[in-house]
Amino acid sequence: MRATEEVHVRAPGKVNLTLRAWRPREDGYHPLETVFQAVSLYEDVVARHAEDITLEIRGRGADSLPTDGRNLAVRAAELLRETAGGSAGAHLTLTKQVPVAAGMAGGSADAAATLIACDQLWGTGLGREELAELAAELGADVPFALTGMSAMGTGRGDLISPVMSRGQYHWVLAMQEEGLATPEVFDKLDELHRWEPGRPEPEEDELDTTRRPSGAVVSALLGADPLVLARALYNDLEVAAVSLRPELGDVLAATERAGALAAVVSGSGPTVAALTLDAPHAASVAGVMRSAEVASEVHVVTGPVPGARVLEHVGRR
């Protein structure tokens, strides 16, 4: 018998290549059609045996986050324990690279990594499908953080179907010091659209057939051509994010001046993701973006990358 002492899991942040949102359903969630791409900015969770479920946070934004039951990582461990009917505890050490409230699903990646880490640590043995169900209970973006790579999200964004993708895409991420709260961005979208809440699905007349960017993205990803992908980037939430944070208009304009192929606000923002041709082009765009001083940090990342996965597994003989 070999018990596991420590499990290290890594989960990626994401950008949304497209995002269409329609009037909210009765539960308040907006039906979405989005294409996610997981990018090389990671959240690391190391889980060790402990009496209770406890959390320690290091890295980007660590000081601004709660470490109790308000944290999605703690909630993930609690939900898994409840589901498995055990009484085990875990000490979680979370090291963050994905900024907080950035539109990159960092908190969702923390939850996904924790589900995998605690499942291994406790030997719960849930399959990927059961873990995906728990993930959807925790939040709309958590199932994608388990899957990673490129995928279409429908429903609340939690119904995931993988999308074939060829090639690596090089992104320049322009981040902001202050995050945006996702519910506020969706509320702003409602206000801008003045649509009535409560209808479950988009009506045919609301489906502007000239704007079905997901299909264009899905074929662009097969072609491995960033120039084609650039033309298909689209986000319905961008107008809401820019309305709440007008300086994002300057960030988008700066990406254009810096020579990016195209740029889009990621998810509910405020991170702006600018697509480039290749690694040297990304480095050049990032350099210009840094000197434009419109972002608190500028990072070059690549995608797609895999979803939450175990890196190390220290056993006890």
Q: Which parts of 185-224 interact with ligand C5P (CB under 6 A)?
A: 186
Residue of 119, 141, 158, 236 marked catalytic = 141
How far, in Å, CA of 274 to CA of 263, rounded?
4
Torsion of CA 178, 9, 76, 126, to 10 degrees: 150
Instruction: Tell me which of 32, 39, 163, 251 binds ligand C5P, using CB under 6 A.
Output: 32
156 near ligand C5P, judged by CB under 6 A = yes
Find the distance separating the first CA and the last CA of the chain, reported in whole Å: 7
188 is catalytic: no
How far, in Å, CA of 106 to CA of 98, rounded?
5
How far, in Å, CA of 181 to CA of 18, rounded?
19
Instruction: Tell me which of 59, 183, 197, 198 binds ligand C5P, using CB under 6 A.
Output: 183
For residue 279, say whether it is annotated as part of any ligand binding site: no
Instruction: Tell me which of 12, 13, 139, 226 binds ligand C5P, using CB under 6 A.
Output: 139
Residues 6+ apart with CB under 8 A from 250: 294
What minimum distance in Å lies between the beta carbon of 146 and ligand C5P?
Answer: 14
27 is catalytic: no
Q: Are 74 and 67 in contact (CB under 8 A)?
A: yes
What minimum distance in Å lies between the beta carbon of 178 and ligand C5P?
Answer: 18
Instruction: Tell me which of 140, 151, 216, 277 binds ligand C5P, using CB under 6 A.
Output: 140
Residue with tokens 């959807």: 136
For residue 107, say whether it is annotated as part of any ligand binding site: yes
Q: Are 94 and 43 in contact (CB under 8 A)?
A: yes
Instruction: Tell me which of 29, 93, 159, 212 binds ligand C5P, using CB under 6 A.
Output: 29
How far, in Å, CA of 41 to CA of 297, rounded?
13
What minimum distance in Å lies between the beta carbon of 28 and ligand C5P?
Answer: 6
Which residues does the annotation place in the binding site for ATP? 99-109
State the residues that interact with ligand C5P by CB under 6 A: 24, 28-30, 32, 139-141, 156-157, 182-183, 186
